[in-house]
Amino acid sequence: MQPLLAHNYSDLPASLSSACSPTPVKAPFLFASNKSLAETLGIDLDWFAAADAAEFFGGSSAHERYQSRATAYAGFQFGQYNPQLGDGRALLLGELQDVAGQTWEIQLKGAGPTPFSRGGDGRSAIGPVIREYLISEWMHSQSVPTTRALGALTTGEPVVRDRILPGGILIRVAPSHIRFGSFQYAAARQDNDALNALVALSFERHYPTHPPAHRTASTLLELVIDRTAELVARWFSLGFIHGVMNTDNMSVGGLTIDYGPCAFQDDFQWKRVFSSIDTRGRYRFDNQPPVALWNLARFAESLLPLLDDNESAAISLAEQALTNFESQFNAYRDAIFAQKLGLDSTLGSYDRICQPLLNLLQESRADFTLSFAYLEALTRSNTERVTLLERLLPQQDKLKAFWRTHLAEDAAYPQTGATNPLRIPRNHQIEQVIKAAETGDFAPFSALERALLGETSEYSEEDIRGPKPQEWLNRTFCGT
C-alpha cells in the first residue's frame, strides 16, 4: 500500500512554501527502483513494484492523494542575487520515518510547473534524471553525504530543450531539502519567525543529537561550516566537480544536492570545468573550497538577525565562525588524501606528497581515479590489479617512480577492502546510457547501475577505462 506521508513542512510559516499538486503525465513507468532504500524507508515493496506506485510518483493519481508543496528559497547564482527562486520543477510529497526513526522527505523532480517555475515547464528530460540517480547513489556508496534516489520514471511525454527529448521524473530522498537559499529568502523578507522555524527544522533533521538548549543560530552556523568543509574535501578526494555551487544548491545538512552539470575528473586538471553554463570557471575544481566559504558567508549574513540584536556583534560572531573553514577543510582534505595513499594522517603528508602527486597527474595528464588505484595496488602487491591498470595508464613509469620515492616504505592499507574506487560514474558511460534510454532502451542503464552499485571486485578494462578521444565530453548541461 502507498506509504502514509506526514506533511511537516506545511506547519512552517506559510511564506516558506506553496501548496501545489504534480501535473499528471501520460504514461508513467518506473524504470529504476531502489529497493534497498525503499525497504529502509519502510515502503511496501509489492506496492512499489506495482503500477499504482508509478501513477502516484508520476502525478497521475487522484488529486486528493497529494498534499505536496513547492518550497521557496532565494540564491546567489554565479555571484548574482536572485530574491526568489524556489522549487521550479520539484515538489515535496511529504515525509516519512525509516525503521530507525529518521525522518526523510520524499520529493519529485520534474513533476510539472509550480508557483516558482518562472515560466518554465517544470519538467525534466530523461538524461538529468539518469545522471542524478546514478551519481547520487554512487556517492552514497562512497560515504559522501548526499541526497538519495528512490526511483526514476519515464513520463510518456516529450520535453523541449535544445531538441525534443523524452521526459523523466526523479524520486529524491533527503532528511531535508533546506538550502542556504531557504534562509536567504526568509532574511530578505525580514521574517524572523521563518528564520527561527528553519533553524529548528535544520537541527531536527540534520543535527538531532545536539542538545535542545543549544540549538541556536550561532551553533547551526558552526555546524554547517564544519559539514560543508568535510563535504567539499570528500568531493576533492574523488575528483568531483559539482558544476553549479550556487547558494540555492548548498544544503544546511552538508549534503551534495542538485546534480546538474556535474562530472568527475578523467585526466586530472586543477582548473577543470565541465558545466556548460560556467563560462568563467567560477565553479572549477580547484575553486570549490573558496566558493564554499563565500557561500557560507552569504548563509551567515542571513542568520545575522538571530545571532545578536546588535548588528556589529552579530557580524563579529559570524566572521569568527567563518575563519574556521579553511583549517577545517584542510584537516578533512589532509586526512582523506592520507587515507587514499595509505599514509598516517598525522604526518602532514598533503603538502609533501599529495599535492606534488596531483601536480604530476596534471603534468602527465594521468587519469585521477586509476592513478590512485594503481598506487594502492603497488603498495598491496596486487599483481593482477597492477597489470590491469598498467594497460590503461601510459604514465605508469612516472607513477611507479613516484611510488618508490614517496610511498613504498611508508604506505600501508587496511587488509580488507580497497580504499580507492576502481570504477566511477564516467561521463562518457553515463552519456551512452542516456542516449540508449532516449530511444527507450534501458538495458544499458540497468547494466551500469549494477556495475556501479553492486558489490564486485571483478572489472575489465572496458569497465574502468577513461574515455577514448571520440568519447571525451568536456561539457555537461543543467536539466532545466
Listed in sequence order, the DSSP H helices in 58-147 are 126-141
Nine-digit cell at 114? 509550480
Contact assessment for residue 47 and residue 96, using Cβ atoms and an 8 Å cutoff:
no
Q: How far apart are CA 344 and CA 316, in angstroms?
A: 37
Catalytic residue among 87, 226, 248, 258: 248
Sign of the four-CA dihedral 170, 38, 25, 6: negative
Q: Which of 185, 218, 184, 217 is nearest to 201 (CA)?
A: 217
CA 384 vs. chain centroid, Å, equals 33
- Say how many residues make up the chain: 480
Give burial (CB, 10 Å; 0-12/13-18/19+) of 160. Answer: exposed
Q: How far apart are CA 389 and CA 461, in angstroms?
A: 8
Listed in sequence order, the DSSP H helices in 2-125 are 35-40, 45-48, 51-57
Contacts 24+ apart (CB under 8 A), 367-370: 367/266, 367/267, 367/268, 367/392, 367/393, 367/466, 368/239, 368/264, 368/265, 368/266, 368/267, 368/268, 369/238, 369/239, 369/264, 369/265, 369/420, 369/421, 369/422, 369/424, 369/464, 370/422, 370/464, 370/466
Place of cell 542571513: 302
Q: How far apart are CA 198 and CA 163, in angstroms?
A: 39
Please enumerate in sequence order all residues whose Cβ is within 8 A of that of 58, keeping only pairs 6 or more positions apart, or say none: 22, 24, 25, 28, 153, 155, 169
Place of cell 497529494: 66
Quickly count: other Cβ atoms within 10 Å of residue 309's Cβ: 8
DSSP codes of every residue in 350-370 = IIIIIHHHHHHHHHHT-BHHH
Phi then psi dihedrals of residue 291, to 5 deg: -65, -40
Q: Is 258 a catalytic residue?
A: no
Active site members: 248
